[in-house]
Structure 1
């Protein structure tokens, strides 16, 4: 089945790096990639922009999008891939919501950008904003200048506090691309698991029975960020996958201030799956 993948771009090296990762990840899949640029300006700024200047800005941006599409075709000569462009005057979140529905988008793939504060967070503000607001489509965030490697190991941190349903489908599809192993990660001690969590774990194993899985019990650190980061480094994981439940691990993770010398950016691609209203 053909995939529709949305690639938000600000024409930066970061955004292009994420796009290149996307082309490699879906090398063997029929895909339509949509380069989307949001040229939204604040109302105050718009009041100071003449209609003529506004048209010039729009035309120049369209030319940049077309040049980006041509570059993608030249550097990714793959008959399975098609490239289209979208220029929106809405803000990024609104533009994404509109075209997720209109183009039946399966996945958003975007780069990450770090903050500039002394105490920085797990993601840049733009990426965090999209992860928090987009509820209808998975988001795959790619670290800056990350070089593609076949994803042999996929980490799936979870707390076993919920019954697993259709939200596992993006994880299954990702693992199916390259027959990846799924590392189920629980940030706690084995004997701390409740009866309900144990039942949910059994349900998770059943849901993933067609995949090679391993279960990892990881001591919880002062910050979940550090616990996950250490696991990823020690296990040579290729992609991190998490479900974005309300008051779940991701919500706590992106709120944790992390000192620079610990490492503030995701070190591998991170797939965030919206919860199914649970």
Structure 2
């Protein structure tokens, strides 16, 4: 992991994400790409692509670049290569297209979360990026203070399809020399006996060499609450899990545990695409 993208709207949430990205970049000798996205009204799109840019828009772009330069000069970024960009595109699609063009390895995003009818109808840009990104996405909900990521919960069903994202999770955990708490959540709708669950997890872990880990089975009403409640019991610094990237009707009917967690927990969440 060498290239980290941090989208910013100049909010406190984006600032918290950038501070986390700076810690990761310093530990792993990464460079940071700081991106601001401008979503313009349809009637202005032609003026941006053509030669005739309105004076008001020029002034606004100038102000955005000044703000990016101020951020770049923050003391906590000293010594870290930081590249700033402004892109005219919708937030979530702009982030995804920027990743491909610049071969980004990790996205670190701030989020305030959504709930209720806003979550159902609109969703957040962070939620959409979590759903569609091919690369890991780390979501920061608040100022994490002195970042450590020492206790790292990774929740999974430990099936064969989880092996590839699990390897990416291991790479991230090594950056912080984290203690891994591997947990399978057992619910009334996805019940496994203790012996059956231990057999699945044992077979999965036999293929990996992990020095600092423990495996757990946790019972709860549903998977989301199980992950949140288990994380509380071990005072987790970070929650990790896989996402299938469902879209369309499959997403509407099945939902996404990753997106629900991003919206509803205050702990940092990192997702890895299956």
Instruction: Please state which band the TM-score falls in when normalised by the shorter chain.
Output: 0.7 to 0.9
Give the corresponding residue for 2:6: 7
Give the corresponding residue for 2:41: 42
Residue number among 144, 147, 150 corresponding to 1:149 in the alignment: 147
Q: How far 1:98 moved relative to its partner? A: 2.4
In the TM superposition, 1:19-98 aligns within 5 A as 19-44=18-43, 51-71=54-74, 74-77=75-78, 79=79, 81-98=80-97
The answer as to whether partners of 1:9 and 1:16 remain within 8 angstroms in 2 is: yes
Give the corresponding residue for 1:219: 219
Q: How far 1:47 moved relative to its partner? A: 7.8
The answer as to whether partners of 1:153 and 1:182 remain within 8 angstroms in 2 is: yes
The 2-side partners of 1:193 and 1:184 are apart by: 16
The answer as to whether partners of 1:24 and 1:148 remain within 8 angstroms in 2 is: no
The 2-side partners of 1:155 and 1:254 are apart by: 13
In the TM superposition, 1:48-197 aligns within 5 A as 51-71=54-74, 74-77=75-78, 79=79, 81-115=80-114, 117=116, 125-134=124-133, 136-188=134-186, 191=193
The answer as to whether partners of 2:243 and 2:273 remain within 8 angstroms in 1 is: yes
Q: How far 1:92 moved relative to its partner? A: 1.9
- Point out where structure 2 has 5 or more consecutive residues left out of the alignment: none
Q: How far 1:175 moved relative to its partner? A: 1.2
Q: How far 1:115 moved relative to its partner? A: 2.3
Alpha-carbon RMSD = 3.2
Aligned residues between the structures: 260
The 1-side partners of 2:209 and 2:91 are apart by: 38
Check 1:246–1:128 CA distance in 2 against 1; reply closer, same or farther (3 A cut).
closer
**SS of the residue 1:159 aligns to:** coil
Give the corresponding residue for 1:239: 238
Q: How far 1:182 moved relative to its partner? A: 1.2
Check 1:193–1:48 CA distance in 2 against 1; reply closer, same or farther (3 A cut).
farther
More helix by share: 2
The answer as to whether partners of 2:140 and 2:268 remain within 8 angstroms in 1 is: yes
- Point out where structure 1 has 5 or more consecutive residues left out of the alignment: none
The 2-side partners of 1:186 and 1:226 are apart by: 12
Q: How far 1:160 moved relative to its partner? A: 2.7
TM-score normalised per structure 2: 0.82
Q: How far 1:212 moved relative to its partner? A: 1.8
The 1-side partners of 2:207 and 2:94 are apart by: 34
Q: How far 1:116 moved relative to its partner? A: 5.9
Give the corresponding residue for 1:204: 204
- Residue by residue over 1:215-263, the C-alpha shift from the partner in whole angstroms, topping out at 9 and shown as x without a partner, is 1110031x3222211111111111111110256999432676x9xxxx9
The answer as to whether partners of 1:17 and 1:145 remain within 8 angstroms in 2 is: yes
